[in-house]
A and B are shown apart, each in its own frame.
Chain A
Amino acid sequence: MDIKKAKIRDLRKSLDNKEISAAELCGEYFKRIEEVDSKLLSYITVTKEKALKDAENAQKIIDAGRAEALTGIPLAIKDNICIDGVRTTCASHMLENFVPPYNATVIEKLNEQGYVLLGRASMDEFAMGGSTQTSAFAKTKNPYDLERVPGGSSGGSAAAVAASLAPAALGSDTGGSIRQPSSFCGVTGIKPTYGRVSRYGLVAFASSLDQIGPICNDARDCAIILNAICGHDRHDATSARVDTPDFTEKIGQPINGLKIALPKEFYAEGIDDTVRKCVLDAAKELEKRGATLVECSMPSLKYAIPAYYLIACAEAASNLSRFDGIKYGYRGEGRTFEELIRDSRSKGFGEEVKRRILLGNYALSSGYYDAYYKKALALKQEIIRQYDKIFEQADVILTPTAPTPAYKIGEQDNDPVKMYQADICTVTVNIAKLPAISTTCGYTADKGLPIGMSIIGKRFDEQTILQVADEWEYGFVPLDVEL
Chain B
Amino acid sequence: MAIELKTIEHLCELSKLDYDEDGMKKVMGEMSDIIDLMDEIKSFDLIYDDTKDGNEIAFKDTREDVAEESFPTEKLLSNAENTDNCYVVPKVVE
- In the complex, what residues of A have CB within 8 A of residue B76's CB? 101
Contact of B17 among A102, A357, A376, A420 (CB under 8 A): A357
In the complex, the answer to whether B44 meets A303 with C-beta atoms within 8 Å is: yes
Q: Is A80 an interface residue (CB 8 A)?
A: no
Number of A-B residue pairs, CB cutoff 8 Å, is 147
Count of A residues near B, CB < 8 Å?
63
Given A341-B16, A358-B12, A375-B44, A326 contacting B75 (CB threshold 8 A): no
In the complex, the answer to whether B57 meets A237 with C-beta atoms within 8 Å is: yes
Contact of B93 among A237, A338, A358 (CB under 8 A): A338
In the complex, the answer to whether A326 meets B41 with C-beta atoms within 8 Å is: no
- In the complex, what residues of A have CB within 8 A of residue B1's CB? none
Q: Which of B10-59 contact A (CB under 8 A)?
A: 10-12, 14-19, 27, 30-31, 33-42, 44, 46-50, 52-55, 57
- In the complex, what residues of A have CB within 8 A of residue B31's CB? 355, 358-359, 362
- In the complex, what residues of A have CB within 8 A of residue B19's CB? 346
Q: Is A365 an interface residue (CB 8 A)?
A: yes
B89–chain A nearest beta-carbon distance, Å: 6
Q: Which A positions have Cβ atoms within 8 angstroms of B?
A: 97-99, 101-102, 234, 237-238, 241, 300, 302-303, 305-307, 309-310, 317, 321, 324, 326-329, 331, 334-343, 345-346, 349, 351, 354-355, 357-359, 361-363, 365, 371-372, 374-379, 381-382, 384, 416-417, 420-421
Q: Is B80 an interface residue (CB 8 A)?
A: yes
In the complex, the answer to whether B34 meets A416 with C-beta atoms within 8 Å is: yes
Other than the given A310-B38, A381-B48, 12 more pairs (CB < 8 A) read A101-B79, A237-B63, A309-B37, A336-B92, A338-B92, A339-B90, A342-B18, A359-B35, A361-B15, A365-B11, A381-B46, A416-B30
A421, B38: Cα distance in complex, Å: 11
Given A355-B30, A417-B37, A327 contacting B80 (CB threshold 8 A): yes
In the complex, the answer to whether A381 meets B53 with C-beta atoms within 8 Å is: yes
- In the complex, what residues of B have CB within 8 A of residue A337's CB? 89-93
- In the complex, what residues of B have CB within 8 A of residue A343's CB? 18
A374, B41: Cα distance in complex, Å: 11
Contact of A336 among B15, B53, B57, B91 (CB under 8 A): B91
- In the complex, what residues of A have CB within 8 A of residue B33's CB? 416-417
In the complex, the answer to whether B79 meets A329 with C-beta atoms within 8 Å is: yes
In the complex, the answer to whether A378 meets B14 with C-beta atoms within 8 Å is: no
Given A358-B17, A420-B37, A336 contacting B44 (CB threshold 8 A): no
